[in-house]
């Protein structure tokens, strides 16, 4: 069945907060669970074994990326096996997310939400929000859930954990996603109080741009923000491509390094 806002709202009704846990190197799951309210519903994604080192005891939802109009899972079976092993007490819900590549603005959203027989509930991001995402790029599953919640259940107390949009040394960040666009959208919702971040460390750039306006008041804050967004988007996209090339070229070296690291651990 398709996931309607009222379905998720009913699920959230017994919780003070819903925490979306990104598969990010910045996630410290112990720090998060200690800091957030006892009645928090934690939303994880299929590859959550990256950030959850042991079985998770609190109430949780598991979200899976669906492709081919909801007929296939994006992740392989090993990811599901690892994820399910972390939730021995069971899950409150499993949700499949359909979010295709962004289309031209004049394109219409699907006439009705797509459903999948693979999961109990299906969330069709494209039907709910139309041609929002940049053309040719694909939303991350976490972004799709976050924006859907902010749009459809604006009074929900949503906390983003690990949604930094910053590449780490271990986990891959795929260039098919527009990380810059996602961070802009998420930060807009943060500024409006619709969602919050567990790690809110993005305020410094705003101070820098404010100093430009104070010194040159002929440049409005809106103009500075628009120009800064375009410049940063271009620079970040170029950097993403270069990092992706470097990551691909060093794959063999990283595998060799990992082998010797495991060999050394085995020797001890």
Query: Residue 57: helix, strand or coil by DSSP?
Result: coil
- Give the other-Cβ count within 10 Å of 89's Cβ: 10
pLDDT over 90 percentage in the chain: 36
CA distance readout (Å), 156 to 53, 148, 175: 28, 11, 30
- Least reliable range by pLDDT among 69-78, 125-134, 216-225, 235-244: 235-244
Q: What is the pLDDT of residue 202?
A: 39
Q: What are 153's two structure tokens? A: 């259940």
Residue in this structure with the two tokens 């976490």, named with its chain if needed: 142
Q: CA-to-CA distance for 102 and 177, rounded, in angstroms?
A: 10
* CA–CA distance, 45 with 130 (Å, rounded to integer): 23
Q: Can you read off the two tokens belonging to residue 151?
A: 């749009």
- Quick one: DSSP state of residue 110? P
C-alpha–C-alpha distance, residues 223 and 218, integer Å: 10
Q: Which residues pair with 43 in a beta bridge?
A: 20, 61
Beta bridge partners of 67: 72
pLDDT at 3 over 70: no
Is pLDDT at 51 greater than 90 in this prediction?
yes
Q: Given a cut of 70, is residue 201 above it in pLDDT?
A: no
| pTM (2 d.p.) | 0.76
Residues 162/168/171/173 CA torsion (nearest 10 deg): 80
pLDDT surpassing 80 at residue 105: no
Interval 110-133 mean pLDDT = 88
Residue 61's H or E segment, with its range, is strand 60-67
| pLDDT grade for 207, boundaries at 50, 70 and 90 | low
Query: Quick check: 92 and 61 in contact, CB under 8 A?
Result: yes
CA-CA distance, 64 to 247, in Å (whole number)? 25
Q: What is residue 161's three-state secondary structure?
A: strand
pLDDT grade for 267, boundaries at 50, 70 and 90:
low
């Amino acid at each position: 069945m398709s996931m309607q806002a009222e379905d998720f709202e009913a699920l959230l009704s017994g919780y003070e907060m819903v925490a979306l846990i990104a598969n990010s190197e910045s996630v410290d799951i112990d720090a998060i669970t200690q800091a957030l309210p006892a009645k928090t519903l934690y939303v994880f994604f299929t590859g959550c074994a990256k950030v959850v080192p042991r079985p998770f005891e609190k109430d949780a939802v598991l979200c899976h990326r669906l492709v081919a109009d909801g007929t296939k899972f994006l992740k392989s079976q090993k990811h599901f096996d690892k994820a399910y092993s972390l939730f021995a007490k069971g899950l409150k819900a499993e949700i499949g997310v359909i979010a295709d590549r962004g289309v031209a603005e004049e394109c219409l959203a699907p006439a009705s939400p797509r459903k999948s027989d693979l999961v109990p509930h299906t969330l069709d991001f494209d039907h709910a929000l139309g041609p929002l995402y940049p053309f040719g790029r694909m939303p991350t599953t976490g972004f799709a859930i976050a924006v859907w919640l902010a749009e459809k259940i604006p009074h929900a107390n949503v906390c983003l954990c690990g949604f930094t949009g910053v590449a780490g040394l271990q986990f891959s960040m795929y260039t098919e996603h527009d990380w810059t666009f996602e961070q802009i959208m998420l930060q807009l919702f943060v500024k409006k109080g619709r969602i919050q971040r567990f790690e809110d460390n993005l305020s410094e750039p705003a101070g820098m741009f404010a100093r430009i306006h104070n010194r040159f008041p002929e440049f409005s804050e809106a103009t500075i923000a628009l120009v800064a967004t375009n410049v940063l988007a271009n620079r970040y996209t170029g950097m993403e491509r270069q990092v992706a090339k470097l990551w691909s070229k060093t794959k063999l070296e990283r595998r060799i390094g990992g082998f010797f690291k495991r060999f050394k651990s085995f020797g001890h």
